[in-house]
A and B are shown apart, each in its own frame.
Chain A
């Protein structure tokens, strides 16, 4: 009789065995390199389709992929998109596909490979990607999505963190609902840490006699670094430098903030409910010295108050009541809504009602494209740019997938802000609040990074409209080590009511010894960080390019850098082929909103470097000598000398 006919439960023997699933992540000064490796065996008598599905953070750059199937190795190379497609079409691999697809998860995307494996054959996958850790709300968050798909004989995750500035704290929150309590092991030193996560097969099981794996989620490591100098940390190595700037202990700058909320019909239901809930918390967070108002729009434009009002408890309570009564309906007139908000700010500014030292922000929340009024997106962009004043920053939050995110990104980037996608689900409210918390505490305005030495070149965006508490501005550049023994940085900025000049110096060999002592430290982190920033900023500039020629020039630079630094960007593809070159797969970047530096809060500009402003060069206190010359000794007591007095 066939096993199982006797009624006993024939355990479903897994056709494919996951022999090992290993993740190694190394963060060197915010630059993270991650390798995911998976080894499987097909134990069944039939060929099996095996999928290697890895979720990677949006904005990460894939740098390498290799695969070995039954002894045949496939390696990857980065090609210009059309070249990649041509190569692929010449030798499409049979029964093998690869690709980068949009993920449903928040700011993630999927790298998927599917291959057909013969009975008894072994297959190994290995993917490398790199990303920059952006500081948000006072910490860096490193998320590793673990999805082995089945129990693994060896499941090992190792995260090494190497921060020359020193670790202020490091924390591994429970993200598996307690299932793996006690499994993550954290070793933390002053400047380094190692987090390992190696559950046994038994620990991986969903339950004691289950055959499914409970490992399906994100391992999260949160940390922050020490900050001694307000001028930030300047790290130089290998001809590149990176400047991390995150000053604290500064007085928040008063803000004038206009919330522009889409209340068209498509916002009806969860989205509106979540938005109202978030707005109530956000309004409560306003500081007494802040000024605000609310503009809600569909095909009509309404305002809670026609001008900015002081964030007193009474006003906030009244604004909350107003928001609670909103009933979403009708079309979407983004153009008029933004112009109304801009008008309110301009009026207040022209009437001298705004504190000259304040920061003005517009936060647009919308879930769709314009359907009423001006529909042409480029015209809306033009209207906004023409009317908004230089001291106003526009931030756009796009809820869901119906919104033209690229439009919101362009709209924000060209008006000193950024856009962020918000997912329309039960989590909308916390996403809105989390975003607001990132911009709720402006600490500096007009922040400019200057590297006066002429042999410093290729500096990334170095001028920023605002600096918000809890975040970090990162600037990078190149220098000629033969000409420079140290790099000087001069940062000029305006805080609540003072002009600031912050200087710092970095010596060439500051990091040499530190990095050489750690086998995990990435000696190329400065170069990779510089390339990552440069390419991302170019991608954003490219979408704002005013002419086709400019766009072509930027495209050429991005392509050249992508190929040089061997990374998959929207302009390159990864061709995966066997040694013979007669089997090829193609991995493309998904059509994604490649906003500059997913996760960064800033979209700045590049401005020429200046020196120290004249006011800061005020002559130091005159060293008025106190007759330091040896006063005539009254008595020449042999030998002529002057004695000390007690208490010296």
Chain B
């Protein structure tokens, strides 16, 4: 999956990719204090391209401990569990389901919005591909607006950036590949070489997406994210991240 981290203070978009394998579950947000975790399980394309198997988010899991609520979103269904009660919606529905403080809104074949207490919200986008495409598979995107509602110890591949790290980008220069400008980025005590890149925001245009220029961090975000991306593998869809 592609990650775009928008840093409001520095007004920069920083991008990175995680290349892993189908079935792995990446922790995106883990905030034991507020009792919220968001995890994404990877699926693979139907077959490798140029020897490389692309992976995407196929399932997203939300766990809201205070409400004992679990929400599993796949490219087919939206399963809401509270205690032993389970209700299943499909992407064909246009529905709003209120579990006391949790509101789940499904917009047919487009988005699921999970809102907690009307203040914390996550959007999940469905990318429906042509069924018979030889390589592509349906997959999901997740958008988490900046918020101060997480606790200072919030973490996860995205959660760690809820508290914006300071970055300094300098020494812009043509890259090894003259078509790909580079620069140096100081962040979390590291100085990284970053490449000017273009990613996509699909919220306003689900098909073509909107271009988002960004500084691309290579090697699965090494130096920008805390530790190694493999540190973010979790065993279950509703796990919190075990941090060292």
A634 within 8 A of B: yes
Residue of A nearest to B54 (CB): A647
Q: Are B92 and A631 in contact (CB under 8 A)?
A: no
Q: Quick one: which of A497, A503, A615 contacts B95, CB cutoff 8 A?
A: A503
- Tell me the minimal C-beta distance from B86 to chain A in angstroms: 6
- Tell me the minimal C-beta distance from B119 to chain A in angstroms: 11
- Bound together, the chains give a CA A505 to CA B109 distance in angstroms of 13
- Bound together, the chains give a CA A551 to CA B78 distance in angstroms of 48
B160 within 8 A of A: no
Q: Are A647 and B17 in contact (CB under 8 A)?
A: yes
Q: Are A231 and B82 in contact (CB under 8 A)?
A: no
The answer to whether residues A621 and B212 also contact, given A644-B198, A648-B200 and a CB cut-off of 8 A, is no
Q: Are A621 and B196 in contact (CB under 8 A)?
A: no
B28 within 8 A of A: no
B26 within 8 A of A: no
Interface residues in B193-211 by Cβ distance below 8 A to A read: 195-201, 203-204, 210-211
Q: Are B210 and A501 in contact (CB under 8 A)?
A: no
Q: Are A615 and B103 in contact (CB under 8 A)?
A: yes
| Interface residues of chain A: helix, strand, loop or mixed (majority) | loop
A498, A621, A626: residue with the most chain B Cβ atoms closer than 10 Å: A626
Q: Are B122 and A621 in contact (CB under 8 A)?
A: yes
Residue of A nearest to B96 (CB): A616
Q: Contact flags (1/0) for B135-155 with A, using CB distance below 8 Å?
A: 000000001011000000000
Stretch at the interface among B33-41, B126-134, B172-180, B231-239: B172-180
Q: Are B97 and A499 in contact (CB under 8 A)?
A: yes
Which residues of A have CB within 8 Å of B111?
620
Residue of A nearest to B108 (CB): A229
A231, A249, A616, A647: residue with the most chain B Cβ atoms closer than 10 Å: A647
Which residues of B have CB within 8 Å of A229?
90, 92-94, 108
- Tell me the minimal C-beta distance from B79 to chain A in angstroms: 9
Q: Quick one: which of A499, A503, A621, A635 contacts B172, CB cutoff 8 A?
A: A635
Q: Are B143 and A230 in contact (CB under 8 A)?
A: no
A633 within 8 A of B: yes
Residue of A nearest to B171 (CB): A634
Q: Quick one: which of B15, B88, B195, B203 contacts A249, CB cutoff 8 A?
A: B88
- Bound together, the chains give a CA A605 to CA B143 distance in angstroms of 43
Range of interface residues on chain A? 35 or more
| Interface residues of chain B: helix, strand, loop or mixed (majority) | strand
The answer to whether residues A645 and B12 also contact, given A230-B89, A496-B85 and a CB cut-off of 8 A, is no
- Tell me the minimal C-beta distance from B217 to chain A in angstroms: 10
Which residues of A have CB within 8 Å of B80?
498
Which residues of B have CB within 8 Å of A642?
196-198, 213
Interface residues in B100-128 by Cβ distance below 8 A to A read: 103, 105, 108, 111, 113, 115, 118, 121-123
Q: Are B201 and A624 in contact (CB under 8 A)?
A: no
B181 within 8 A of A: yes
Interface residues in A610-648 by Cβ distance below 8 A to B read: 612, 615-616, 618, 620-624, 626-628, 630-631, 633-635, 637, 642-645, 647-648
Q: Are B198 and A626 in contact (CB under 8 A)?
A: no
B73 within 8 A of A: no
Q: Are A496 and B87 in contact (CB under 8 A)?
A: yes
Q: Are B178 and A624 in contact (CB under 8 A)?
A: no
Which residues of B have CB within 8 Å of A628?
201, 210-212
Q: Quick one: which of B12, B90, B115, B181 contacts A230, CB cutoff 8 A?
A: B90
Q: Can you offer 14 A-B residue contacts whose CB atoms are under 8 A?
A: A503-B94, A505-B94, A616-B98, A618-B118, A620-B105, A620-B113, A621-B145, A626-B212, A627-B6, A628-B211, A634-B172, A634-B181, A637-B174, A645-B199
Given contacts A615-B98, A637-B179, A645-B180, 18 further A-B contacts (CB under 8 A): A229-B108, A230-B89, A230-B93, A231-B95, A497-B85, A498-B99, A499-B96, A500-B95, A618-B115, A626-B4, A627-B6, A627-B13, A628-B201, A643-B197, A645-B197, A645-B216, A648-B2, A648-B197
Instruction: Give 4 closest A-B pairs by Cβ, nearest first.
Output: A645-B197, A634-B172, A616-B96, A249-B88
